[in-house]
Amino acid sequence: MMFRRPKIGLALGGGGARGLSHIGVLKVLEAAGVPIDMIAGTSIGALVGGCYALHPDAIELERRVREYIESPEFKNTGLDRFKRPEPAENFFGQVAKYVRERIVINLAHSRLSVVGADRMGRVVEAVLDDRRIEDTKIPLLIVATDLHTGDDCIMREGSLREAAMASAAIPGFLPPVQQNGHLLVDGAVTAPVPVRALQDAGMDVIIAVDVGQDIGILSDAQNIVDIMFRTNSITSHKLKTLLLETADVVVRPDVGGIHWADFQNIRDLIEKGERAANEQLRAIRHCIREKQPFWQRLFTLNRYRESERQAA
């Protein structure tokens, strides 16, 4: 008797340091024996997803990332300098506020980004092997945004590091990446959680992991720029909500209050990912079972009941 298992896709969203909770989600899914047939990643979701797709071992992934974040090499990137106690807001708004406060207007007009690509490049090189997307053990999709067309750019082949760099090229913070005639920026602009990429790839069950911040309440609008940032936050939040409505199961680690640059909080972030995934395990298993053909579900249920009777 031939059994067909539904194809399961995992969508890992963007959110800066909050994306380290993806590691906790992967640990739980792996330990529970939930098979992953394809991973799609945006921004830090592309970085974590790429690491795992190459070497599907969540414990080793945690060790590798934690070792790097606790190293002097990571501190030299200066990413922790952007961590400031601010109310929850859209990530691009945070970066834009930093630009507004720290860079004079004429400099902002003459440059494409706050920092050079080399800073992010050092992070990518330390975490990701120099391999091609086609080499991954789990099929991988990396999502960026094409500045020319405004469309998702889904990368299925080519340099894994270059694709991750493009997917994490936060507008205004890191320069756009030129690749195969495309000018690419952070995938979170069009795909904060890359659900559509997995749908287009034919996945039967899509598990989405949302590590973004809640939209919160605007406590004070100081000026026109604050209002512009707020409207951008609302637009991004609405887009993310629409995308997540099309996923089968959404895992939401409780990380909304953690700053996007708080990478030193890795232990807590991973634990929050584990907790959220454990809370959704029953829903994930139910969804997988429901996507099986009826006769297969019936056979599986009867076999389960028989094993329960024998164990009693």
Can you tell me the distance from the alpha carbon of 215 to that of 78, in angstroms, rounded to the nearest whole number? 27
Whether the CA torsion 84, 86, 90, 95 is positive or negative: it is: negative
Structure tokens at 284: 């994930």
- Contacts of residues 69-76 at CB distance under 8 Å and 24 or more positions apart, as own/partner, are 69/263, 69/264, 69/266, 73/122, 73/126, 74/123, 74/126, 74/263, 76/122
Question: Strand pairing partners for 249?
Answer: 207
Helix, coil or strand: residue 130: coil
Residue 43 is a catalytic residue: yes
Catalytic residue, chosen from 37, 146, 186, 248, is 186
185, 176 contact by CB (below 8 A): yes
279, 28 contact by CB (below 8 A): no
Catalytic residue, chosen from 21, 43, 113, 233, is 43
Can you tell me the distance from the alpha carbon of 50 to that of 131, in angstroms, rounded to the nearest whole number? 10
208, 197 contact by CB (below 8 A): no
DSSP-assigned letters across all residues of 138-202: S-EEEEEEETTT--EEEE-SSBHHHHHHHHT--TBTS--EEETTEEEEEGGGT-SS-HHHHHHTT
Name the amino acid, one letter, at 266: I
Query: Would you name the residues annotated as active-site residues?
Result: 43, 186
